[in-house]
Amino acid sequence: MRVVVQRSLEASCEVDGKITGKIDKGMVLLVGFTEGDDKETIDYMVRKILNLRIFDDENGVMNKSIDKESSAILSISQFTLYGDAKKGNRPSYIKALNGEQAIKLYDYFNEELKKEIHVETGIFGAEMKISLINDGPITILLEKE
């Protein structure tokens, strides 16, 4: 499982001209799955994301995790996180989990996050337009194999 975490001031997802998810301050998560990912993998990643200290404390030091009361998460499925362009110029997505299995894990991932914080999403498998004001910019890649 790979998750790109971006600290954001505001973000939204648009599908077919309609906003499907929108947040103010918080995190944008680009989420990809691979073979072998399971609920244990997701539980680990949810804990990691919710405790990731990428928000400033009163001294301007990134020492705080996401504020569950005043922040939110925009979660976007993105199989292209497993794109491999080592050979040639056209990425191979063979390591990305197939859609039928990935959507189940993605739904579970979002449900687990929703137990702790407000979560907005895109639409799995849809052509999405993501708007983001990255705060910092802060972008972290998390991976659990």
Catalytic residue chosen out of the listed positions 80, 101, 121, 124: 80
Whether the Cβ atoms of residue 12 and residue 138 lie closer than 8 Å to each other: no
Catalytic residue chosen out of the listed positions 33, 34, 55, 78: 78
Omega into 137 within 30° of 0, i.e. cis?
A: yes
One-letter amino acid for residue 136 of the chain:
G
Is 78 annotated as catalytic?
yes
Catalytic residue chosen out of the listed positions 6, 33, 55, 79: 79
Is 79 annotated as catalytic?
yes
Is 6 annotated as catalytic?
no
Phi-psi region of 107 (alpha: psi -120 to 50; beta: other; left: phi over 0): alpha
Catalytic residues: 78-80
